[in-house]
Amino acid sequence: IDAALSDGPLKGKHVLVTSGPTHEPIDPVRYIANRSSGAQGTAIAKALLALGAKVTFVTGPADVPPPAGVRVIAVETANEMLDAVIGSSPADAAVFAAAVADWHVANAGDSKIKKDKSGLPKLEFAENPDILATVSQMKTGRPALVVGFAAETDDVIANATAKRLRKGCDWIVANDVSPSTGIMGGSENDVTLITADGAEDWPRMSKDATAAELATRIAKAIT
**Active site residue ranges:** 34
Q: Least distance in Å: CB of 143 to ligand CTP?
A: 13
Binding status of residue 27 toward Ca ion by CB under 5 A: no
Which residues fall in the annotated binding site? 102, 112, 129-132, 149, 163, 167
Comparing CB distances to Ca ion, the nearer of 70 and 100 is 100
Binding site for CTP: residue ranges? Answer: 102, 112, 129-132, 149, 163, 167
Q: Please tell me the distance from the alpha carbon of residue 16 to that of residue 143, in angstroms, as a whole number.
A: 9
The residue range among 9-17, 64-72, 129-137, 205-213 that interacts with ligand CTP, by the rule CB under 6 A, is: 129-137
Nearer CB in complex with Ca ion: 80/102 = 102
Rounded CA-CA distance 177/18 in Å is 19
> Does the protein bind ligand CTP through residue 98 (CB under 6 A)?
yes
Q: What stretches of the chain show up as alpha helix (H) in DSSP?
A: 39-50, 78-87, 131-136, 156-167, 207-222
Q: How many residues bind Ca ion (CB under 5 A)?
A: 1
Q: How far is the CB of 148 from Ca ion (least distance, A)?
A: 11
By the rule CB under 6 A, 128 interacts with ligand CTP: yes
Is 3 or 196 the residue whose CB approaches ligand CTP more closely?
196
Q: Which amino acid belongs to residue 62?
A: A
Return d(Cα 11, Cα 5) in angstroms, integer.
Answer: 8
117 HSE (CA, 13 A, CB side): 8
The one-letter amino acid code at 202 reads: W
| Nearest to 38, CA basis, from 92, 81, 6 | 81
